[in-house]
Copies of this chain bind each other. A is one copy, B any other.
Amino acid sequence: MSISTGKKPSAGDRHAPPSGVLERGLFLMSLFSMERPRLQLRDLAQLSGLDKATTLRALRTLAKWGYLERTPEGAYSPGPVNLRLASIFKATSNFIARLEAPISAISGRANQTASFFVRSRDDRVCLVRDHAFQDFRYFIEVGGTVKLSEGGAAAQLLLAYTEPEDDDARAAIRQAGHYISRGERNRHFASIAVPLFESDRSFLGAVTITGMAVDLDDEMLLGFKAMIGEEVAAASFTTA
């Protein structure tokens, strides 16, 4: 009753928990992140706003199927089944595996974080990521999604190449074949995003290099563009 009618002004319930057992279970899974890879019942119940007993039942089922596993201390963390599903996912989008080496090489040569994003409805999803030596806590993790409306170099570029309704700004981005952002999503960062095409010229997504704004002037970012082109060409992709 506390969900539909009552109000729980307790700490962590910014959003009301979803209704429906399956949705609640998936919601619980979504509470795990790189920053919080292990959570105990109490935390999950509080974060989700669900009753302890309800949370426990869901966690048990999730653990029974390997989506979660219990640590020796009794906390929960994502389990091995996710690996299985991730490898099936990778197999269905056949180009991800092919992109891993180029992204790694790009990251190494730029000594910055390199990523690959695709559009999924109104979000962008990070599918490949290599961190070089940077502190990665400010970034979206692999598989993570961000609303396109939140901006960023990758978002602008994805919109330019995939949005049905066109305008001058988007045409200009396509004309240039890249987009540079400065502090658009995070004040301290700058990025360049370039489009990635399959060998048959079909658009796949955006390759980006991101780093601290102080380290990267526009000239340097622009210089990365040719290098990205070289590296992805080794895997038969193109950037134009």
Chain A residues close to B by CB (< 8 Å):
20-27, 29-30, 32-34, 37-38, 58, 61-62, 64-67, 69, 77-92, 118, 120, 125, 127, 141-145
Contacts and interface: CB of A to CB of B under 8 A. Distances in A.
A82 B82 contact: yes
Contacts of A23: 61, 64-65
Contact of A143 (B58, B77, B85, B92): B85
B80 A38 contact: no
A78 B96 CA distance: 14
Nearest to A33: B88
Closest 10 CB pairs of A and B: A84-B143, A83-B143, A86-B86, A82-B85, A21-B21, A22-B25, A78-B89, A26-B65, A82-B86, A80-B125
Given A81-B145, A83-B143, 7 more contacts: A25-B25, A66-B145, A77-B89, A77-B92, A78-B89, A79-B89, A81-B143
A11 B84 CA distance: 26
A88 B142 CA distance: 9
8 contacts: A23-B61, A25-B25, A34-B87, A66-B120, A78-B88, A82-B85, A83-B142, A86-B86
Nearest to A118: B80
Contact of A20 (B21, B29, B67, B84): B21
A74 to B, nearest CB: 15
B26 A62 contact: yes
A84 B144 contact: yes
A177 to B, nearest CB: 26
Nearest to A65: B26
A32 B80 CA distance: 15
Contacts of A64: 23
A236 to B, nearest CB: 21
A80 B20 contact: no
A67 B26 contact: yes
Nearest to A75: B92
Contacts of A20: 21, 61
Contacts of A86: 78, 82-83, 85-87, 143
Contacts of A61: 20, 22-23, 26
A30 B83 CA distance: 12
